[in-house]
Structure 1
Amino acid sequence: MEACLYETIDRERVQCNLCHHRCGIKPGGRGICQVRRNDQGTLTTLVYGQLIAQHVDPIEKKPMFHFMPGSRSYSIATVGCNFRCSFCQNADIAQMPRDREGLVMGAACTPEAVVDNAQRQRCQSIAYTYTEPTVYFEFAMETAKIAAARGIKNIFVTNGYMTADALDMAASWLDGANVDLKAFNDDFYKKQCGARLEPVKSSLRKMKALGILVEVTTLIIPGLNDEPQELRDLAAFLVNDIGPETPWHISRFHPTYRLVDRPVTPTDTLHRARDIGHQAGLRYVYVGNVPGEDGENTSCHACGAFLIERWGFTIQRNRVTSDNRCPDCGVPVYGIKMGKRT
């Protein structure tokens, strides 16, 4: 299938404008993501309708804590990614084309079938997740348009490297996103991810301006992105540029893929990062990958009242009112349909 957002840059090469790599691709070649190919001057997507994963997940698994808590999200992915993170948690599918000589696998599926499955499974949203939804943007877009017409929300779990043009195309159907802000130094992005920091910051600002509900996740890796000043700078960026209501998920690292020489993140480091977020003025800061932590719960930023109790991906108790307010002081709680589900 012909891809969107590309241009011919000379007689032989095309330039993909879907993400900030803006790959110039020669005939027969592929972009950095390994799933977009120049076929005689036409950029084609190799993964349209080729799903490597389809699952029903709790929305909390994305993680999205301020987007219809307690609901189910039909979650899909193709292979491929435009990052090459050394710590990739889904490398078997995200890095498959890169690590296995261009291999693209997946089960044939149509956008209509995805939405039908989501409705059959009583899912209130579809999440484009597990790998990087930007690289299967065309399929996500067609699926999301059908879902939106049927009253189903759409969510990206993304590295945030898409261009402003891609976000403009998504504005009418993308309701929420969890963006991995992997660090707050460009050297980390270059060495560990094969990317740059500034485009991710730009995407976060753009999403906010478009009215897309944004949550942010940072995987804290000992010795690489856990310096207090870097975390203070990251938190200040979220407060000042994206908004103090932005939920920030601080996630625990476990050695994986090509980054196996680093230890598991100490809980003290996670708690310190959470304190830094609160001190910067963020209202909702969460600790992830540590089930049973108080850092999984939501409290009112105004009066401190307990609002939502979680254990892992499960909602134990929800006190938010049906109109998204604290039941004790009446202050609005940031999010979409935050009240208890019936």
Structure 2
Amino acid sequence: MLVNNDLYKKSSKTQKIRCEICANYCKIADGSFGVCRQHKNVNGELFDESYGIVSSLSPDPIEKKPLNKFLSGTLTYSIGGFGCNMICLHCQNYMISHEYGDYSRGVKITPEAIVENALKYDCKSIAWTYNEPTIHLPFNKKTSLLAKQKNLKVIYVSNGYFSNKSLQEVLGFVDAFNIDLKSMSDDFYKKVCGADLDVILDNLRSIYLAGKHLEITNLIINDYNDSVDEINALCDFVVNELDENVPVHFSRAFPYYKMNDISPTNHEIVFKAKEIAMDKGIKNVYLGNI
């Protein structure tokens, strides 16, 4: 599927194009893919190679996203795709984000069918989740606009690595976000995720200022992002630059993908994180994988 030409730029000197769908701003040579392995330069045009192909479709309790303060007690229709714009070494969904090989395990589906399914299961929303939704912006935008015509809310479960252009588009149709704030260390983001912390923080500020419902998840990993100083920094960011009413979810990590050498996160630090957050004045703190 050809991507709208306002989401990429052509070079006047070469056949390379600059993808502007996420904050990687990949410069893609003819015949090659960007970091996400979804967007391909074909003769100087950008194509989404998996448009309309999904890895997962399921009605879920909205609290599994996790969203605890948005449409509580309802079902959301969850949709996942393939690929990711980060390279997280601890990825919990690496089989669809990084090591899927091809799309033979995927399902071809139309936006109309997704909306029909959501209504059939009496869902009150659809949720783009399981892999990073931003990289499938044309497909999930078209689907989401159809969903909103049927009074369904739209949710993004995201790593927050939007480009400036994509964030503005996403803010136009998404009602609620859960953003995975993986660490308050730029070194962690660069080494473990291949990304830039400041981009995520700026996008969190923009989402909040746009008046969208926002919840934050922090996966705590032993010896990587589990220091009291880092948890303090995350809570200070929420309170001082967002709002004490923004829900924060602290979750345990387990050995997975390229971090098979870690041990499951100590319960003590997860409970300590909740204590720190509440002491800072954060009103809604939740624990996951306990």
**Residue equivalent to 2:115:** 115
TM-score (norm 1): 0.82
Q: 2-side partners of 1:16 and 1:281: how far apart?
A: 40
Partners of 1:13 and 1:25 within 8 A in 2: yes
2:129: which partner in 1? 129
SS at match of 1:244: coil
Shift of 1:238: 0.9
Match of 2:19 among 4, 16, 20: 16
Amino acid at match of 2:161: Y
- For the pair 1:45 / 2:78, whether they are aligned, the reply is no
The whole-number CA distance in structure 1 between the counterparts of 2:234 and 2:9 is: 35
Match status 1:71 vs 2:74? yes
Partner Cα distance (2:11, 2:281) in 1: 46
Task: Tell me the distance in 1 between the aligned counterparts of 2:132 and 2:196.
Answer: 16
Partner of 2:37: 34
Cross-structure match for 1:230: 230
Return the alpha-carbon distance in structure 2 between the equivalents of residues 173 and 196 of structure 1: 25
Question: Could you tell me how far 1:163 is from its partner in structure 2?
Answer: 1.5
Corresponding position: 1:61 with 2:60 = no
Question: Could you report, residue by residue, the CA deviation over 1:282-338 in whole angstroms, capped at 9, with x for unpaired residues?
Answer: 111111112xxxxxxxxxxxxxxxxxxxxxxxxxxxxxxxxxxxxxxxxxxxxxxxx
List per-residue Cα deviations over 1:225-269 (Å, max 9, x = no partner). 001011101110111111111100000111111101111111111
* 1:183 Cα deviation from its structure 2 partner: 0.5
Amino acid at match of 1:7: K
Post-superposition offset of 1:96 = 2.8
- State the AA in 1 paired with 2:207: M
Matched, 1:173 2:173: yes
Counterpart AA for 1:266:
N
Q: Which residue of 2 aligns with 1:309?
A: none
User: 1:184 offset after TM fit, Å?
Assistant: 0.5
How far apart in 2 are the matches of 1:9 and 1:275? 52
Q: Write the deviation string for residues 186-229 of structure 1: whole angstroms up to 9, x where unpaired.
A: 11111111111111101101111222111000000000000101
Specify the code of the residue in structure 2 equivalent to 1:122: D
Deviation of 1:104 after TM superposition, in Å, equals 3.5
More helix per residue: 1 or 2?
2
Query: Aligned partner of 2:129: which letter?
Result: T
Provide the C-alpha distance between the structure 1 equivalents of 2:171 and 2:87, rounded to a whole number of angstroms. 27
- The structure number with the bigger radius of gyration is 1
Give distance in 2, aligned partners of 1:9 and 1:184: 35
1:289 paired to 2:277: no
Contact 1:164 1:206 in 2 (8 A): no
Looking at structure 2, the residues matched to 9 and 61 of structure 1 have their Cα atoms a distance apart, in angstroms, of: 43
Alignment of 1:84-99 (within 5 A): 84-96=87-99
Q: What percentage of residue pairs aligned between the two structures are identical?
A: 37
Secondary structure of the corresponding residue to residue 182 of structure 2: coil
Conserved 8 A contact 1:46-1:104: no
Equivalent positions of 1:194-209 (< 5 A) are: 194-209=194-209
> Could you list the per-position Cα deviations for residues 108-164 of structure 1 after superposition, in whole angstroms to 9, with x for gaps in the alignment?
111011000000110001000000001111111001000011100000000000112
TM-score, structure 2 normalization: 0.96
Equivalent residue, structure 2, for 1:104: 103
SS in 1 for 2:260: coil
| Pairwise CA distance, 1:50 | 0.5
Q: Match for residue 337 of structure 1?
A: none
Q: Secondary structure at the match of 1:74?
A: strand
How far apart are 1:278 and its partner, in Å?
A: 1.3
1:43-68 deviation digits (Å, cap 9, x = unpaired):
01012100111011110100000111
The secondary structure found in structure 2 opposite 1:118 is helix
Matches within 5 A, 1:156-305: 156-290=156-290
Runs of 4+ in 1 over 3 A off after TM superposition: none
Count of matched residue pairs? 286
Residue identity matched to 1:242:
L
C-alpha distance in 2, partners of 1:170/1:218? 22
Q: Which amino acid counterpart does residue 50 of structure 1 have in structure 2?
A: I
Deviation, structure 1 residue 3: 1.5
Look up the match of 1:147.
Answer: 147
